[in-house]
Amino acid sequence: MVHYWTVFNLVFIILCFIMIGNNDLLKLKKQGRCPVSKILLYEPRMLVRSLAQHLIDGRSRPLWLHQVSTPYIEDIRNSVNKDMCVLVGVGGVGPNFSEVLRLFRYLKIMKINTIAWIPSGYLYLSRLLNAVGVNEILIEDDLPNALMVTLQKMTTHGDTAIKRRRVPDLSQMELDILLQFSAGLSAKDISIERGCCYKTVFSWKHNIYTILEIKTPDQWLTMLAEMAQISTLYQQR
């Protein structure tokens, strides 16, 4: 179910952008620079997708738009190129959230630049995206000012964004365990399903705590709640 206050904010952002312009974007256009050779954009929400397209359009680069995750991921896997950049509106992925997290890990291994934007107020989601390899995380409300500047920075400084990330990476196993917890499974359920010792699951959970800087059980529950909210916030029709 769409949160109407979020939609209102996005409409307001788009109108403000059109009315007052964007100095950074105009500066980049005057320079005639092309931040990346190809951009793959996955944003199911029409308003946010239109905003991102408006920010990027008019530049000399291919822009591939996708509303559905499966063909988007297939396109990425079939056209891996270190000069391309992958953009994802995480707030709109809905039930494809776990699939997108695994995609980010794959792109990190392939050393492909990634930019994701999320709704404001999702602290642990931001940490999680860093831990699966996202290079740059933007807040949706800041998209008009931040998107083109971030793309330009990736060109100007090459792999600076990758080198600047200081958080440890979640392993594939740790990510899978986290996704099982977020799906409502208990440690005992996970141990039975994986055929491993109960204590092994707690060891994985401890690693997740450390990587995502979780200090208390309440923070753990907050993170799981954020993941659940993102998975159900927007439903594609």
Model pLDDT, residue 83: 76
Residues 155 and 196 in one domain: no
The residues with which 63 forms a beta bridge, in sequence order, are 39
Residues 67 and 123 in one domain: yes
CATH number, position 112: 3.40.50.2300
Number of domains within the chain: 2
Residues 189 and 74 in one domain: no
As a whole number of angstroms, the distance between CA 234 and CA 200 comes to 34
Residues 51 and 138 in one domain: yes
Residue 185: inside a domain = yes
Model pLDDT, residue 58: 52
Cβ-proximal residues to 50 (8 Å cutoff; 6+ apart), any chain: 14
Task: Report CA-CA distances (Å) from 39 to 20, 109, 187, 208.
Answer: 26, 18, 40, 31
Residue 17: inside a domain = no
Each of the 237 residues of the chain gets a pLDDT tens digit; together they read: 445 445 455 444 444 443 433 444 344 444 444 446 678 888 888 889 888 888 887 554 567 666 556 666 776 767 667 778 889 999 998 888 998 999 899 889 888 899 999 999 999 999 999 999 999 999 999 999 999 888 888 766 544 444 445 567 899 999 999 999 999 999 999 999 999 998 999 999 999 999 999 999 999 999 999 999 999 876 654
CATH number, position 186: 1.10.10
Q: At 189, which helix (H) or strand (E)?
A: helix 187-194
The residues with which 87 forms a beta bridge, in sequence order, are 41, 115
Residues 75 and 188 in one domain: no
Residue 6: inside a domain = no
Residues 222 and 106 in one domain: no
Residue 93: inside a domain = yes
As a whole number of angstroms, the distance between CA 134 and CA 220 comes to 21
Model pLDDT, residue 157: 52
Residue 14: inside a domain = no
Return the C-alpha torsion angle 221, 222, 223, 228, nearest 10. Answer: 90
As a whole number of angstroms, the distance between CA 17 and CA 22 comes to 7
Residues 154 and 191 in one domain: no
Residue 32: inside a domain = no
pLDDT tens digits, 168-180 = 789 999 999 999 9
Domain span holding position 207: 172-231
Residues 82 and 114 in one domain: yes
Residue 15: inside a domain = no
Domain boundary among 102, 137, 162: 162
Q: What is the model's pTM?
A: 0.79
Residues 178 and 152 in one domain: no
Residues 150 and 185 in one domain: no
Residue 187: inside a domain = yes
